[in-house]
Amino acid sequence: MIEKVAVVTGAGSGVGRACALALIEQGWSVGLAGRRKVNLEETAGLARDPRRALAVPTDITDPDAVDRLFATVVEHFGRLDLLFNNAADTMAYLPTEDVELDDWRRVLDSIATGSFLCARAAFRIMKEQHPRGGRIINNGAPSAHVPRPDSIAFTAAKHAVTGLTRSLALDGRPHDIACGQIDIGNVTPIDRPQPAVRQADGSLRVEPTMDVGHVADMVLVMAGLPVGVNVQSVTVMPSAMPYVGRG
């Protein structure tokens, strides 16, 4: 049986950590990517079998660093079956006229460009390996479809992820590369209360949240499918979270 190998970006905390640990629990070997080495090593230390976790500190906005990440993972584990594009940089909610260009670029680079660079590297490997193919799962958001007020950079970046997902799914067909998107609602914070966020009517509301384990469960479902089957898009969210009818 061929060992299954994944790369998870943003694996040092939150959704990325939970999904990486869930994959390892299911027998996957996982390259843990993120900017902070200490966080990645902490994730690896939480794994039931730390030998299946490889911490590779990476700035996913740097093309050379991304290429080194994937080369390191393939050298260590032998192949690549899954990329979970999860890493994202964010910024404070601000009116459009107050958004600095540097913040716009930082958010777009981390979410849209970073996801593209990782997908490009994964495509190169998945097309040439034997058996060929694999799967890419992109972390979208409800904001990939419906924006929050004062979130123009994040919203634009997540809309770009949806276009990236669809293009990758189409371009991957001849090469047995599937690509789908998981749009993730509010996850319960670990170390702080859930903050109130502005609604479309201008009010502030503390919204319902869900345990991150539900996200990991869905990623496992998507990852476990044969490459001839794809979950193109799925939204996982608290049932009472304002999204359907937002605005």
- Please report the domains of the chain, with CATH numbers, ordered by start residue: 5-236 (3.40.50.720)
Q: What pLDDT shows up at residue 232?
A: 97
Compute how many other C-beta atoms are within 10 angstroms of the C-beta atom of residue 116.
20
pLDDT value at position 246?
A: 62
User: pLDDT at position 3, please?
Assistant: 85
Collect the ranges in the chain with pLDDT lower than 70.
1-2, 245-247
pLDDT of residue 2: 66
**pLDDT at res. 244:** 77
Helices (H), the chain: 14-25, 37-46, 63-77, 101-108, 114-128, 152-172, 212-223
135-163: b or e for each residue (b if 16 or more CB lie within 10 Å)? bbbbbbbbbbbebbbbbbbbbbbbbbbbe
Supply the pLDDT for residue 234: 97
pLDDT the model gives residue 38: 97
> Could you tell me how many helices (H) and strands (E) the chain has, helices first?
7, 9
Task: Report the pLDDT value the prediction gives residue 247, as an integer from 0 to 100.
Answer: 55
By three-state DSSP, how is residue 194 classified? coil
| Residues 108, 159: Cα–Cα separation, whole Å | 10
